[in-house]
Amino acid sequence: MSNASFSRGYQALKAQIDAPIAAYFSSCVHCGLCAEACLFFTETRDPKYTPIHKLEPLRKVWEQEYTLVGKLKAWFGLSTPLHDQELADWQEFIYNSCTLCGRCSLVCPVGNDLSYMIRKEREGMVAAGHAPDGQISAAKRAITVGSPMGVKFPALQAQIKHIEKDTGFIVPVNQVGAEYMVTLSSMEIMNYPEYLEALARIFKHAGKTWTLCSEAFEATNTGIQIGSSDIARELVSRLVNAAERLQVKTLVSPECGHAYTAIRWEGANLMGKAFTFKVQHILEVLEELRQQGKLKTEGLETARMTFHDPCQLVRRGGVIDEPRNLLKTVAQNFVEMEDAGKMNWCCGAGGGVGAIEQAHELKTRVFQRKISQLDAIKVETVVTACANCRITLEEGFEAYNREMPVLGLTELIAQHLVEEPATENAHE
C-alpha cells in the first residue's frame, strides 16, 4: 500500500466524476441559492461557505479533464491546474463546514445534488491525505477496535447486565432467526444507555423477537463521514455478514442519522448486491408497531415539546410523519419549529463535523440557528432521534446558557408503555 499523496487524490477525484456529477456541474447556473440553504453561510454571512464553492476542486478536475472548454482554458493559461495546497485549503470547506445535511440539494433550482457531490469530493481528499485528523483517528478505531469511540463488546456486556438487572428481561445476543437485529451507536452505549433499555421494553411489550450481535453491534460508519467507500464498505460488510449469519428479517438502524444513510441508502451499493433482509430506522419500526396496535401507551407529557428532525432521516430517508405520529401519542403540547420536516436546519455537527477539533468554534457559532428556531416557539423540551444531534444539542444549549432537556424519542415512548404486555398479540 502506498501512502496518501496528491497524485492519489487527483486520481481519485478523476475516478469520482460520473455522469450525474458532469451533468450537475454543466447545469449549475451560479444562482447562489445554495448559500441561503447552508447553515454555515446563513450564520456567518461569509460567501466562502457557499456549498457550490466547496466543490471548486472537484469542478476544476471535471473541467480540465473532461471538457473541451477546460482544456482550451488550460492551454491558453486561463486556468491553473489543481494543486496540493488548494486541496489542503479546502479541508475547511469540505469537512469543517459541511455536515452533508443535504439542504442545498433540496433548494437547487436545477436539481443538483450538492451533498452527493461533496460526499464524492471527500473520496479525493481522503486519498490525498487531507482528511481531518479527528476523523482519521475515528476511522482507525472503527476498523481496528470496532467502534469510532473505541467501545468494545465487554463495555456493552456491562450495560446489558445492568439492564437485565434493572428490568428483569433478557437482552438477547447472537440469537439466530430473530425478527429484528438491533444495532447501536457508541454514543448510545457510552452516553445514553437508556436507549438499549427502552428497546428491551418495547420489543417485550410488542412481543417481537430481537437480538444484538457481539461482532456487529456498532452501526455508525466513519467511512461515510470521512468519505472513503473502501472503509465504509468494510464497516457495512460487518453488519451485513452478521445479519445474514443470524438470518434476521430486519436490521434496525439506531437513533443515528448517518448510520441509517450508510446501511439503508449506501449499503447495498457499497456491497454490490441486494440485501436478504430489510433495513429500517428504529422510528420506522416503532411506527409500524404502533400501526399494528402493538405499541400501547398511556399518559401524556404536559411539557411544551418540539421535535428536531435529523437531516439524514428527513432529507435522505423521508422519515417525516413517523416521529410526529409517535410523539403525538405521548405528548399533549407538541409544537413544530419553523422549517420543521424536510427543510429542518441541521444541528451543525453531523457528517463527522463533531469529530473535528478545528471545527468546534464554527459549529458552536452556527448553532445560533437552532437557538433562534427554538426561542421562537418557546418550548421546554426538545425530542430527537439521533444520538449525534442529541449530544450536539446538549453541548449547544450549554454554550448558549439554555436550560433545555433533550430526549430520545424511543426512550420517551418506552416510558409511556402500558405496563402489562399486550396479551392478545402474544398469541399471534
Partner 1 sequence: MSTSLGAILREQYGVSRRDFLKFCSVLASSMAISPTFIPRIAEALEKTPRQSVIWLSFQECTGCTESLTRSNAPTLESLILEQISLDYHHTLQAAAGDAAERARDLAMKANQGKYLLIVDGSVPMGNSGYSTIAGISNVDALREVASGASAIIAVGTCAAFGGLPHANPNPTGAVSVSEIITDKPIINISGCPPIPVVITGVIAHLITFGVLPELDKLGRPLSFYGQNIHDRCYRRPFYEKGLFAEDFDDAGAKKGWCLYKLGCKGPVTYNACATLKWNDGVSFPIEAGHGCIGCSEPNFWDAGGFYRPLAVPTEGVAQLTQMAFAAGGALGIAAGVLNAKKRDHAIAERETVSIDDLKRKG
Binding site for partner 1 (CB under 8 A): 1-5, 8, 11-12, 14-15, 17-18, 22, 65-66, 68, 126-127, 129, 131, 136, 139-140, 143-144, 226, 228, 230-231
> Residue 144 CB, nearest distance to partner 1 (Å)?
7
* Amino acid of residue 403: E
* Nearer of residues 71 and 365 to partner 1, judged by Cβ: 71
Whether 199 contacts 235, CB under 8 Å: no
> Residue 86 CB, nearest distance to partner 1 (Å)?
16
> Residue 348 CB, nearest distance to partner 1 (Å)?
25
> Residue 110 CB, nearest distance to partner 1 (Å)?
20
> Residue 257 CB, nearest distance to partner 1 (Å)?
23
* Nearer of residues 125 and 414 to partner 1, judged by Cβ: 125
> Residue 361 CB, nearest distance to partner 1 (Å)?
24
* Amino acid of residue 105: S
* Nearer of residues 5 and 80 to partner 1, judged by Cβ: 5
CA gap 98, 95 in Å, rounded: 5
Helices 321-330, 282-291: inter-axial angle, 10-degree rounding: 60
For the sheet with 305-308, list strands across it. 305-308, 381-384, 406-408
CA gap 37, 251 in Å, rounded: 33
* Nearer of residues 227 and 408 to partner 1, judged by Cβ: 227
CA gap 330, 74 in Å, rounded: 62
CA gap 243, 388 in Å, rounded: 24
- Cβ-based neighbours of 373, under 8 Å, separated by 6 or more: 337, 338, 339, 345
CA gap 321, 417 in Å, rounded: 20
* Nearer of residues 65 and 86 to partner 1, judged by Cβ: 65
* Amino acid of residue 368: Q
> Residue 149 CB, nearest distance to partner 1 (Å)?
16
> Residue 156 CB, nearest distance to partner 1 (Å)?
22
Whether 279 contacts 267, CB under 8 Å: yes
Q: How far are the Cα atoms of 93, 96, 99, 129 from residue 359, in angstroms, in the given order?
A: 10, 5, 11, 18
* Nearer of residues 84 and 288 to partner 1, judged by Cβ: 84
Whether 161 contacts 193, CB under 8 Å: no
* Nearer of residues 233 and 316 to partner 1, judged by Cβ: 233
For the sheet with 180-182, list strands across it. 210-211, 180-182, 250-253, 278-281
* Nearer of residues 68 and 176 to partner 1, judged by Cβ: 68
Q: What is the 3-state secondary structure (H, E, C) of 212-233?
A: ECCCCCECCCHHHHHCCHHHHH
> Residue 256 CB, nearest distance to partner 1 (Å)?
21
* Nearer of residues 140 and 204 to partner 1, judged by Cβ: 140
> Residue 352 CB, nearest distance to partner 1 (Å)?
13
Query: DSSP states of 382-405 as a string?
Result: EEES-HHHHHHHHHHHHHTT----
* Nearer of residues 27 and 332 to partner 1, judged by Cβ: 27
* Amino acid of residue 312: Q
